[in-house]
Amino acid sequence: MSKWEKVRLGDVCDTNIGTLSSKEDCLIDYVDISSVDNQKKEISSYKVFKSSEAPSRARQLIQKNDVLVSTVRPNLNAVAMVTTETPNVMVASTGFCVLRSKEALDNNYLFHFTKSKTFINSLVKAAKGASYPAVSNADVYGTYIPLPPVKTQQRIANELGAVYVLLQLRKRQLEELDQLIKSVFYEMFGDPVTNEKGWTVHVLGELITNLRYGTSTPPIFSDAGYCFIRATNIKLGRIISRDMRFIDENEATKLEKCKLHYGDLISVP
């Protein structure tokens, strides 16, 4: 159990975020939801508009070190820190909650916290709407964060930053290994489309014992239980646990036909 006090983000972040004036005549560098890479947790691009031609959601004035938290589909954890200052006025969509640290909160520590399971789960529980789940700014500001002394926050952020770099390096290594495996496959067996090696060809159905489809209706999820694998849990030919959802035994019984066994192959259409 942490000995540090837990405080609301709204108490350690500036909630008074300025907005773009309709009378202002300037160029803006705009960040919308599609601008954030939710895997790398960074802003991948800015869209440049004249302020008079900007989308209606281009309202929030942002600055370097702000942390942007998407309020739609919080389970996807589309968060990013503004790490640079651009030539034009920087503006974010109203689809983000902008977190701007006060003196008691280190911005890097805050950013790492927004990537944590604690933060994600808190917003997922607060989300409203079945087909398009979303949270409000109040939900984000109402999330509690452990608040050690600033120097301790900085040390934690530095350590987490180093771990994150190692994880990204490991991810790139796995991607390169995946490409190597594909290369070796082509070298050994040739292109399966042109079949230049003249292998015997069969219809897939002749070589498998059972072909099943997953459920078309989302089940009722639980906090724990049996893993429910979705398309988003499959990356680079592997099942990943990130954002894994769970179902209880009752739901699992209803989906008996979807039960997986060792050696099964999952294909995402």
In this structure, the answer to whether residues 94 and 129 fall within a common structural domain is yes
CA separation (Å) from 105 to 86, 100, 175?
Answer: 24, 9, 36
Nearest to 36 by CA among 6, 74, 87: 74
Domain that residue 219 falls in: 204-258
The count of domains in the chain is: 3
pLDDT (tens, 9 = 90+) of the chain, 269 residues, equals 468 999 999 999 999 999 998 888 999 999 999 999 998 899 999 999 999 999 999 999 999 999 999 999 999 999 999 999 999 999 999 999 999 999 999 999 999 999 999 999 999 999 998 788 999 999 999 999 999 999 999 999 999 989 888 888 888 887 888 888 888 888 888 888 888 888 888 888 888 888 887 887 778 888 888 888 888 888 777 888 878 888 888 888 888 888 888 888 888 76
The separation between CA 223 and the C-alpha centre of its own chain, rounded to angstroms, equals 19
Alpha helices in the chain (DSSP H): 9-12, 107-114, 117-126, 137-141, 150-189, 249-254
pTM, 2 dp: 0.67
Strands 36-37, 144-146: pairing kind:
unpaired
In this structure, the answer to whether residues 195 and 216 fall within a common structural domain is no
In this structure, the answer to whether residues 29 and 106 fall within a common structural domain is yes
In this structure, the answer to whether residues 91 and 144 fall within a common structural domain is yes
| 221 within some domain | yes
In this structure, the answer to whether residues 66 and 13 fall within a common structural domain is yes
In this structure, the answer to whether residues 100 and 156 fall within a common structural domain is no
Using DSSP, state whether 48 is helix, strand or coil: strand
